[in-house]
Structure 1
């Protein structure tokens, strides 16, 4: 994901802030380049997986999320879906989409529903963050902000690059890492994510009580991340 200051326009706010960003190769502009990195490990049943995918599709088309997208300086975001679990095996299952209106959000939602499930095991969150950071570095958009959105129901396990180390590298590259903890039967998961996963300006953890609560929590999280 290459970033540089957006071309000057009379309505853009805080030009000095934008000018302070590193000069990168240009692409279509977006307010936020966002990697949704979702848990697809073996602990997730087919029904739970369906709820998770439906939750992603519902969230990106929700009026509150669309309002946050269109209310930005550019009025567009870039978004891609990564599934993680296996050590070193995080997979990009939905490529980058530029979402700027209801039609492009609907196209993304269809892609989210239709993409086949990747083969995953364990919970290698650190490797997922490393994969997501590489997607942002090489992505097609000129982004004002870069965000990795990790959701899962367990702490990091068996990563080649442990989550705190991967998180620190991403933050050093100017990326914010947020997390959605699907708490359910695992006490203290949000606290683990706060300590080991999130980082960068304004980073936060949001909690879902279970897979059925995933859509609500992700929707609230996207509004906060985009706005």
Structure 2
């Protein structure tokens, strides 16, 4: 079982919805959100927290929010359950993927140009792959590669301790959806049609990805 919840966090521009969201997240996240000076940063963090709350409710784990712990390298998890989740946010959207098996999810807003120092996260074959594309294609492909690598990082849980420039999603000049990793075969699923101008990717080791994707709207929050 894998499910994706996502939302446009601009809905939290409405004060009543912002307060409703704040009542749904953990005390730790509320405190963190209150410290943000950038309103969009606060809304993105709030969106991720609300989606996690809804994922827990759907998994019959309502009330467990405050039992979520953080691993040595920062990966959040819920002990003594088979509930696995991954949060991500970028641009105006937040996403939560949850499953009964370890999962990683990443969402990247595709900008008009490449970010600086892009080569630091790319393998040699990925660099060569991008060089053979048009400018527009190159930007799109870079963010797709970035989302794949971030989804693996989140699945793994060790963060930037992983040498992501040594992980390659290009083989024989073609993007691939499976790669070997530390004795395992990891699977990746992109959702290119879900949100225009966003790269979205999930990672797991079972190769099964649900098509169940739900957008959480203002109406959902007003009428839970």
TM-score (norm 1): 0.30
Which of the two has higher C-alpha Rg? Answer: 2
TM norm structure 2: 0.30
